[in-house]
Amino acid sequence: MHSRHIGDVGVGAIGLGGMPMSIEGRPDEQRSIATIHAALDAGVTLIDTADAYHRDANDVGHNESLIARAVATYGGDTSDVLIATKGGHVRPGDGSWTLNGSPDYLKSACEESLKRLGVEAIGLYQFHRPDPTVPYADSIGAIRDLLDAGKIRLAGISNANSEQIRLANDILGGRLVSVQNQFSPAFRSSEPELALCAELGIAFLPWSPLGGISSAADLGSRFAAFAEVAKEYGVSAQQVCLAWMLAKAPVVIPIPGSSRPETIRDSVAAADLELSAEHFARLDQA
């Protein structure tokens, strides 16, 4: 697969989002591990997770543990696999999502993620979502401290606006390597952040790039232009969507969520789909 960069680390142009394998409606572990192995077989080297990707209060970090087991049991070389996780979101177990961006919490959450992933340093650690009760600079200061202490190798942020991207990069001393924001045909409000990342050379990781768990399968029926272009190329509308994102800027690395081997294989094929300028313009204006 074609590669792109997160900081100084090369990764496949399409990553794997792990959330669907651990939250409500999650499949059995055997299918999830098969999905991760299929991704690795296809050349995926970026796997995205978070300590909040779990369902019940007693299985915090379910997705991190699952990914660690899948990578450990894979028969091939995994030395170039970058596992990205996040801290700062909390799921108390009642289906809700809450926030905790306090420095002490982020540092303790990182320690727990280190244990679940079974590593000495996390490849990429990202502040999951701003906490309005905690100054943003304080939360990012904790990420900086983890980076300086060698607990994490790369630092990123998620769900951030342009002002927060610039502030985080400044606090991190120019070491911000990734921004993970929601971006899809249905959700384009992160266009300014994507453009800023392209300007600064920071990887932009669209989450829910196909519209989310409940909508990904219907992308073509919801957005006719993507279905029309897909028909012309003889591929899925989902492939066209990911190829469109890749064509927007060389810093874009989509991380479609998957819980089936066949869907991640289809997503990975988008890395080899080159859209014409005419098709790209049609999709960009859709």
The 3-class secondary structure across 213-229, one letter per residue, is CCCHHHHHHHCHHHHHH
Q: How far is Cα 40 from Cα 89, in angstroms, rounded to an integer? A: 27
User: Span 77-90, mean pLDDT?
Assistant: 97
pLDDT of residue 169: 98
How confident is the model over 122-139, as pLDDT tens digits?
Answer: 999 999 999 999 999 999
Task: Give pLDDT, residue 1.
Answer: 85
- 3-state SS string for the chain: CCEEEECCEEEECCCEECHHHCCCCCCCHHHHHHHHHHHHHCCCCEEECCCCCCCCHHHCCHHHHHHHHHHHCCCCCCCCCEEEEEECEECCCCCCCEECCCHHHHHHHHHHHHHHHCCCCEEEEEECCCCCCCCHHHHHHHHHHHHHCCCEEEEEEECCCHHHHHHHHHHCCCCEEEEEEECECCECCCHHHHHHHHHHCCEEEEECCCCCCCCHHHHHHHCHHHHHHHHHHCCCHHHHHHHHHHHHCCCECCCCECCCHHHHHHHHHHHHCCCCHHHHHHHHCC
Q: Which residues are within 8 A (CB) of 135 and not within 5 positions of it... i.e. 6 or more apart?
A: none
* Residue 115 binned pLDDT confidence (cut-offs 50, 70, 90): very high
pLDDT at 172: 98
So what's the pLDDT on residue 93?
Answer: 84
- Mean pLDDT, residues 35-62: 96
Please check whether residue 158 is in contact with residue 129, taking contact to mean a CB–CB distance below 8 angstroms.
yes
Q: In the predicted model, what is the mean pLDDT of the chain?
A: 97
Each residue's pLDDT tens digit, 204-261: 999 999 999 889 999 999 999 999 999 999 999 999 999 999 999 999 999 999 999 9
Catalytic positions: 53
Q: Contact 67/22 with Cβ under 8 angstroms?
A: no
Query: Residue 158: is its pLDDT beyond 90?
Result: yes
Name the residue with tokens 């999951």: 128
* pLDDT confidence of residue 183: 98
The phi and psi torsions of 172 (rounded to 5 degrees) equal -85, 5
Overall average pLDDT of the 181-185 stretch:
98
Q: What residues have CB less than 8 Å from 80, skipping those under 6 apart?
A: 10, 45
Model confidence at 286, in pLDDT bands (50, 70, 90)?
confident
- Provide mean pLDDT across the span 154-171: 98
Whether the predicted pLDDT of 66 surpasses 90: yes
pLDDT at 94: 87
